[in-house]
Amino acid sequence: MTARDPVTPIDAPLPTPRQAAALPIDAAAVEAAIVGRRSVRAFLPDRLVPRPLIERLLQLAARAPSGTNTQPWKVYVLQGAARDALVQKVCAAHDALRADPGLAAQYQEAYDYYPRQWVSPYVDRRRENGWGLYGLLGIGKGDKDKMHAQHQRNFRFFDAPVGLMVTIDTVMGRGSLVDTGMFLQTLMIAARAHGLDTCPQAAWNPYARIILPHIGAGDNEMLVCGMALGYADPHALVNRFETPREPLERFVTWVE
């Protein structure tokens, strides 16, 4: 433990839903965890996350809602040598794909995370996000080497000591992706409440053919996404990047 570690009751049992409902709510703390959640792209690699804390975060995330309580998510936690070996495998594939784009047919996502054809306003937000991040890092539009290196940071979990891979059974419908999204958000908010940071990563999805055997997933499992988990590097320039949110009037319609 260090002076920066938050005081967390990770050894205490979670309250039951009924017990929790009777406890006072600290709205400011809940809001701080929500607003403070961000996609961190530089972690402290040597500041490890204790297993009891990871377990507690997953227990909290498991309280996420799911249709008819199916709880379709499955989580693989990668640390140490297993994490490092996966990083090496996927980084090598990423480099090989750049050298030979014809290999792209071998690396297909199980589901379309992004649209096949971009339209406004979504493409505008995507471009703002991409060039805002790359601009902060001094990566120009034509600098393919730096862009490749920055993209590959995904496959190093941005140096986070903990990597997560989340899957669902292929028999499940698209609603299970919604359920798993709520699980992931709950996990990220819980992590923030305990002083940790995260980065959800769909970038791993094309490399499922490498990832799934590595983690021991069954033939019936589909990769939903990966996630980096750890403590943010407070001095990293990339962690100064903040994404805007649309005002309510652009996405809310009041029907009265």
Structure tokens, 112? 């379309």
Average pLDDT, the chain: 95
Q: What single-letter amino acid sits at 125?
A: R
Q: What's at 234, amino acid-wise?
A: P
The rounded distance, in Å, linking the Cα atoms of 208 and 20 is 38
Domain annotation for the chain: domains and CATH numbers? 39-243 (3.40.109.10)
pLDDT digits (tens, 9 = 90+) for 143-155: 999 999 999 999 9
User: In this predicted model, what pLDDT tens digit does every residue of 26-84 receive, in sequence order?
Assistant: 999 999 999 999 999 999 999 999 999 999 999 999 999 999 999 999 999 999 999 99
Using CA atoms, how far apart are residues 239 and 233, in angstroms rounded to an integer?
Answer: 8
Distance CA(49)–CA(121), nearest Å, equals 39
CA distances from 39 to 136, 188, 199, 211, 250 (A): 15, 10, 4, 22, 23
Q: What is the mean pLDDT of residues 94-122?
A: 96
What is the pTM for the complete model shown?
0.94
pLDDT of 12: 86
Q: Contact 177/111 with Cβ under 8 angstroms?
A: yes
